[in-house]
């Protein structure tokens, strides 16, 4: 019973947090608008890692979803050649 309660609290904390919902919505809007794509990818990066780790460690047989998510993330970053230099530039 304790495992079920912990799992439920993990789900509630990770999915329904207003900060996370807001950051996902903002990142999605920025990606769809085509402006500030580097910022959007930086905002959505921790969410992608969280989803991938969830599917690897908590979902039995969740490896295909984590692999697909990783490949899609790499494809999104492949088009941004100056991603890190633009984020770390001191202007």
| Whole-number Å distance between alpha carbons of 4 and 84 | 40
Calculate the alpha carbon distances from 58 to 3, 7, 33, 37 in Å: 12, 9, 34, 30
- Its pTM surpasses 0.75: no
Q: How confident is the model at residue 15 (pLDDT cuts 50, 70, 90)?
A: low
pLDDT, tens digit, 9 for 90 and up, residues 64-77: 888 888 888 888 88
Question: What is the average pLDDT score of the chain?
Answer: 75
């Amino acid at each position: 019973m304790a495992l079920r309660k912990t799992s439920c609290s993990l789900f509630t904390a990770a999915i329904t947090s207003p900060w996370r919902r807001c950051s996902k919505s903002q990142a999605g809007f920025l990606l769809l608008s085509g402006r500030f794509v580097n910022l959007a990818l930086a905002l959505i990066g921790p969410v992608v890692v969280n989803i991938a780790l969830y599917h690897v460690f908590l979902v039995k047989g969740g490896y295909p979803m984590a692999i697909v998510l990783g490949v899609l993330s790499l494809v999104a970053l492949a088009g941004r050649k100056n991603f890190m230099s633009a984020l770390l530039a001191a202007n």
